[in-house]
Structure 1
Amino acid sequence: MLGVNLVIFKKMSLLLILSLFLSASMPETTVTANKDVTSKMEKLGNPFSKSAYARNVWDMQVFEGKIYLGHGNSSNDGPAPNAGPIPIYYYDPGKNKFVVQDVVTPTSSSSKKAKINKYVDEEQIDTFKILNGKLYIPGHDARGEGWQYGNYYKLDNNQWIKYRNIPKGVHVYDMAYYKGELFAAIGSDTAPDVLVSKDDGNTWTKLGSIDAFGPTRAYTLFEFKNKLYAVSAMLPDNNMWSTENKILCIRGCSGGGAEKAEGFQKTIYGNEMLPGITKKVTNIPPYMRMVRTTVFNDKLLYIAGEIYNDHQWKPQSLVVANDIDDARRVSFPNPNAMPMDILVRGKTIYVLTHIETSPGQYTNRVYKTSGSDLDSDANWTEVFNFKEDTFARSFEELNGDFYFGLGSDTDHVTDSTGMILKVKKSAYSS
């Protein structure tokens, strides 16, 4: 019996020595930090006075140390239809407060004083644009002054100047600056038009139209590979309509051997520009938009957004394109994550996403990648996540801190829509 116990003891000793040897020779197991920062999120406030849906934070833009906030609703349908006029809010991190800026409407008569309001004459502030170092607001849906002209607004010495001079621009969806010229993509009652100004926005002329199947609206302008493009609604791969779409190359393209003054129409296809989008669409036809277009590392990123509720959109996927007709769909570590916004900071790109985990419960996640990592889905990593009763529609970053604007869709509107949240760098990087 003693011999048997001795053998067992020797075997156990050998196993113990072997275990110690393996633990010493193998690398230490990496402990994954908890990326849930819900308890560390700061609620800065909900500054908007509109009803809940019109408090959607359609866009956030950092400019000169302030965070500008777009809101309102330009849809003719509910909830909160045609919610203008819209005050221009920004959040001042240094003073920890929300501020409303003046909007000045110049007069044509030198004997009359300029009109000063606390709002823009629009139903919605949909986007802010930094063009040639200046901050602009395209007039998303002009109100109260007829459809002969559309508006845009330009920040000058801490106040906004209103310009009402864009022909037929009842909807000015986007603006761009390219080699000394300003461009405007508009929605009119005739065609998706693109206008150009050669005198810093004082006068505008029509440059061309997009031969689009669908809404008579030019939604998006973007510069890519030294070319300026305009695009309207597009159709993805489907079994009912042609997936042939048109995109207007405004500057830098050649057509028939020579660049045309009005731009050059290029044929694109839904299965190339909107790859993998064959399901989850709710409208017929399933019109799509290129949203949040961002150039990074000589590639184009954009969100494929399905048009719904008139001017608004719902995300379907994030797309990365090597060229106009060479794009692929991005798959995040959680393949159900829906992209909402895109930010570039140096050599890193961040994407805001969300997942509805149960009715009225959302997990919002920020993913990042860098360098040439856009070629591989495996390089997208989670920065942090937080839970809310709705999704974050837009976000910004300033000095390492992230800011979020909560949004909602027409079928799920919560009182928290419009809440501005903040998470400090120390909360997610420790």
Structure 2
Amino acid sequence: MRLSSRSASIIVALWFAATALLGEARGELLRFRPLGQPTAAKEEAARKINELMLFQDRLYLGHGDWFKDTGPTDVIYYDFAQQKFVNEYTVDEEAIVRYRRYGNRLYLPGADSTESWEFGNLYVHEASGWKKHRTIPRGLHVFDFAEFTDRWYVATGSYIGPSEGRPAIGAIYSSEDQGATWRYEFTTPSAFGAVYRLTALMPYKGRLFAFGYADGPMARESTPEQNQSDDGKQYNRVARSFVHDGGGWFRADIVSASLVQTIEPHVFGDHLLLCARIGRYGDQFKNQWQLFAHDGKNTRRVPLECDQIVDTLVKNDRLMLLLARQGKYSLVESTDLAHWTHRDLAPDIKRPLSIEYDGTSYYLGLADGTVLAATASVD
């Protein structure tokens, strides 16, 4: 059957539209090989590799589960020269969920201390090794760290009053003496029955952005049987965003979507990228992940075909996303947020959680504690 020129044009247009959504180019199949399973001897919840970070020719791992209290937690890195994993240090935390690199230092915020709630911890890798700063007052959860205007900042889950039965707040602290002392910069509202936390910090265009969430009861709905607890209340998680512009802290509602639960920020080129989890909070509700790009004034959504943005990595001029869709995983890359290279991961790679890239090789951290590597051909 011969197609008319109009029908052929429609098919071509549809093909280009589909290609634009799925990634304009298919990259080579990455052949991953195991570097090892350094957390295999730990309890199951402690094995998962939450974070990968290259620092001083080492691949640092973040692992553990602070919800299930799997600490204390080892700082483990892969030594490329010796081709083995090394236990370098142990932190008094239930898990390691994030590293931050500024200059020649590596920072490890203490997400959930195994010690008392009187102080929270920040760990800093300096020339002499790791140094622990147990100086953050009421820093129950220290989720993130940033350097901004010659000060150190941390984003926390803190509390007011006695540690038992206390209102839980999100708090940002700053230090002018590199962690010796801290002062309150900003706190969220507080309410009994609700939990506020600030979980991410990101400097961008001379301002410091902070992101977090509030867990608490919702206003009663017409169908209270949905997500209803024994006391008849419905609960949800709602994202909170703030910005420090040099003069004070203000709300920063820069994601135009409803039911946003959490936001994870990254700076890519001239944009502040925002990975947003959207939907009602609870296992019974299906959520979606969306990517937004903010240029300092306006925010636009970046189209993605995925069920979940598992991890995000910015390397120089390249953005890499680890995506999940219909039980399968893929890596997509872009240099301009318009043209994408799409690489499917082999089906035998189960539950990848984190990615890293050193210019020639990709690294994956899996939920079972396995670390994989694959060398890509030069573009």
* Alignment TM-score, normalising by the size of structure 1: 0.68
Query: Is residue 238–residue 261 contact of structure 2 (8 Å, CA) maintained in 1?
Result: no
Residue from 356, 371, 374 that aligns with 1:420? 371
Amino acid at match of 1:328: R
Mapping of 1:26-425 within 5 angstroms? 35-37=28-30, 40-48=31-39, 49-75=41-67, 81-102=68-89, 119-143=90-114, 145-157=115-127, 159-190=129-160, 191-211=169-189, 214-233=194-213, 246-250=240-244, 252-253=245-246, 259=247, 263-266=248-251, 268=253, 273=255, 275=257, 288-291=261-264, 293-305=265-277, 316-323=289-296, 326-332=298-304, 335-357=305-327, 363-370=328-335, 373-374=336-337, 376=338, 379-383=339-343, 385-388=345-348, 390-407=350-367, 417-425=368-376
Shift of 1:201: 1.1
Query: What is the RMSD computed on CA atoms of the aligned residues?
Result: 3.0
Aligned counterpart, 2:229: none
The change in CA–CA distance for 1:139 and 1:56 in structure 2 (over 3 A counts) is: same
How far 1:305 moved relative to its partner? 3.6
What displacement does 1:245 show?
6.5
Cα distance change, pair 175–133 in 1 and its aligned pair in 2 (3 A): same
- CA shift, 1:172, in A, is 0.3
Q: Work out whether residues 50 and 72 of structure 1, in 8 Å CA contact, stay in contact via their aligned partners in 2.
A: no
Provide closer, same or farther for how the CA distance between residues 418 and 319 of structure 1 changes in structure 2, counting only shifts above 3 A.
Answer: farther
Q: Which has the larger radius of gyration?
A: 1
Measured in 2, the distance between the counterparts of 1:162 and 1:57 equals 22
Please identify which structure carries the higher strand content. Answer: 2
Q: d(CA) in 2 for partners of 1:273 and 1:142? A: 32
Distance 2:26 2:275 in 1: 29
In the alignment, structure 1 segments of 5+ residues that lack a partner are 1-31, 76-80, 103-118, 254-258, 279-286, 358-362, 408-416
Structure 2 unmatched runs, 5+:
1-24, 161-168, 222-234
Which residue does 1:14 correspond to in 2?
none
Q: Deviations over 1:107-153 (max 9, x none)?
A: xxxxxxxxxxxx1100010100113431010011001x311101111
Q: Deviations over 1:10-50 (max 9, x none)?
A: xxxxxxxxxxxxxxxxxxxxxx877333xx21011110132
Q: Give 3-state SS (helix, strand or coil) of 2:177's partner.
A: coil
Tell me, yes or no, if the aligned pair for 2:213 and 2:237 is still in contact at 8 Å.
no
Displacement of 1:243 after TM fit?
A: 11
Inter-CA distance 274–388: structure 2 relative to 1 (3 Å threshold): farther
In the alignment, is the contact (CA less than 8 A) between 1:189 and 1:216 conserved in 2?
no
**C-alpha offsets along residues 139-193 of structure 1, whole Å, 9 cap, x if unaligned?**
11001x3111011111123631111100000110111101210001110123211
Q: Which has the higher helix share?
A: 1
C-alpha distance in 2 between matches for 1:342 and 1:35: 20
Give how far 1:53 is off: 2.6
Shift of the 398–194 alpha-carbon distance from structure 1 to 2, 3 Å rule, reads same
Q: Is the 8 A contact 2:111 2:143 kept in 1?
A: yes
> 1:200 Cα deviation (Å)?
1.1
1:354–1:391 Cα contact (<8 Å) kept: no
Structure 1 residues 328 and 50, CA gap change in structure 2 (3 angstroms):
farther
Q: Please give the TM-score of this superposition, normalised by the length of structure 2.
A: 0.77
Alpha carbons of structure 1 residues 152 and 309: separation in structure 2 relative to 1, 3 Å: farther
Amino acid aligned to 1:294? H
CA separation of 1:72 and 1:315: change in aligned 2, threshold 3 A = farther
SS at match of 2:46: helix
Q: Aligned in 2, Cα 1:140/1:70: closer, same or farther, shift over 3 Å?
A: same
> What is the distance in 2 between the residues matched to 1:330 and 1:151?
36
- The residue aligned with 2:20 is none
